[in-house]
Amino acid sequence: MAKNEFFGSIPASIGQLKTLIVLDLSENQLNGSIPLEIGGLPSLNVLSLEYNSLVCTIPLSIGNCPSMMSLSLAHNEITGSIPASLAKLPYLKNVDFSFNKLTGALPKQLANLVNLQSFNISHNQLQGELPNGGFFNTIAPSSVSDNPSLCGAAVNRTCPTVLPKPLVLNPNSTDATQETIPQNFNRGKKILSISALIAIGAAAAIVIGVIAITVLNLRVHASTANPPMAFTFSGGDDFSQSASSNGDSGKLVMFSGDPGFSTGTHALLNKDCELGRGGFGAVYRTMLKTGALSP
């Protein structure tokens, strides 16, 4: 019945032709929709409805035609998406949906059609990534052309990376679930803030303690290395310097004032006069006024 001037809709009674193998109504003036009863034709091998004025969507029931091998709906006004039920047609070889107004993404399940030889979806408004695997790895670029939002190797267009949508919480919402999420979230923030403050405080205390101990150690070492000079006065006029256990430091002490000493200062300044060192400091020998030596 192709290439006539038939107009109007395809009758639903077509579904009663259970042994129908080929239905060719191409190049007519048919309008309306494709009847759902098409899915009740188990023996249908070929369905050709191209070059008409069909204004409809592709019925899901087409997936119930297990013997379908050729499906052509090109050059119509068909809208909507390509149904995933086409993937249930194991013998499907040729598909032509070109020059329509199809939208949406191609079902990934179409890659499982092992007998597919042609799949023309050019001149539509399809979008998204082409199915991976099977026939679609070698599909001709002309079969997918003029779909500006379609991406993949066949159209030489890289698909954008899909990022997860952020969680948007509506503070004015009365939904119990949305109200619970912000409360838990804020409670978590408070717990994290208190923990952070405790950690910061502990770290600061440790740092201050280390600095304080370091300063005290430095002061102790400095006082040990450079002890202050101590002066002891006695009844005499002469005084001398008595070295401590540190060879680079000492203290000045007064002699007992015994008039028998002639000069203590000279003896202390003369290293040759040192006799030794003991618990009370260095011991020097000096000359008495009588001319005798005395420690």
- What is the DSSP code string of 205-261? HHHHHHHHHHHHHHHHHHHHHSPPP-EE--SSS-EEEEE-SSTT-EEEEE----TTB
- Say what the pTM is: 0.55
pLDDT category of residue 35 using cuts at 50, 70 and 90: very high
Any idea what the Cα angle at residue 147 is, between residues 143 and 153, rounded to 5°?
Answer: 65
Per-residue pLDDT averaged across 158-167, rounded? 67
pLDDT category of residue 235 using cuts at 50, 70 and 90: very low
Highest mean pLDDT pick, 5-19, 194-208, 279-293: 5-19
Give me the pLDDT at residue 264, please.
Answer: 55
The CATH code belonging to domain 7-155 is: 3.80.10.10
Ramachandran class of 240: left when φ > 0, alpha when ψ lies in -120 to 50, beta otherwise: beta
Question: Domain segments of the chain: what residues?
Answer: 7-155, 231-294
Average pLDDT for the chain: 79
pLDDT category of residue 267 using cuts at 50, 70 and 90: low
Residue, of 255 and 60, whose pLDDT is higher: 60
Residue 246 has pLDDT above 90, yes or no: no
Give me the pLDDT at residue 222, please.
Answer: 75
pLDDT category of residue 93 using cuts at 50, 70 and 90: very high
Query: Each residue of 134-165: b (16+ CB within 10 Å) or e?
Result: ebbeebeeebbbebeebbbbbbebeeeeeeee
pLDDT category of residue 139 using cuts at 50, 70 and 90: very high
Per-residue pLDDT averaged across 122-129, rounded? 94
What are the φ and ψ backbone dihedral angles of 217, each rounded to 5 degrees?
-60, -45
Q: Look at 35-39, 149-153, 223-227, 283-287 and tell me which has the smallest mean pLDDT.
A: 223-227
- The encoded tokens of residue 172 equal 């004015």
Decide if 178 contacts 169 (C-beta within 8 A): yes
Cα(154)–Cα(141) distance, integer angstroms = 5
pLDDT category of residue 142 using cuts at 50, 70 and 90: very high
What is the SS3 assignment for 132? coil
The tally of CA atoms less than 13 A away on the side-chain side of residue 1 is: 15
First to last CA, the chain: 145
pLDDT category of residue 13 using cuts at 50, 70 and 90: very high
Q: Look at 72-86, 158-172, 222-236, 270-284 and tell me which has the smallest mean pLDDT.
A: 222-236
Cα(181)–Cα(187) distance, integer angstroms = 10
Residue 2 has pLDDT above 50, yes or no: yes
pLDDT category of residue 6 using cuts at 50, 70 and 90: very high
Cα(38)–Cα(249) distance, integer angstroms = 115
Decide if 143 contacts 120 (C-beta within 8 A): yes
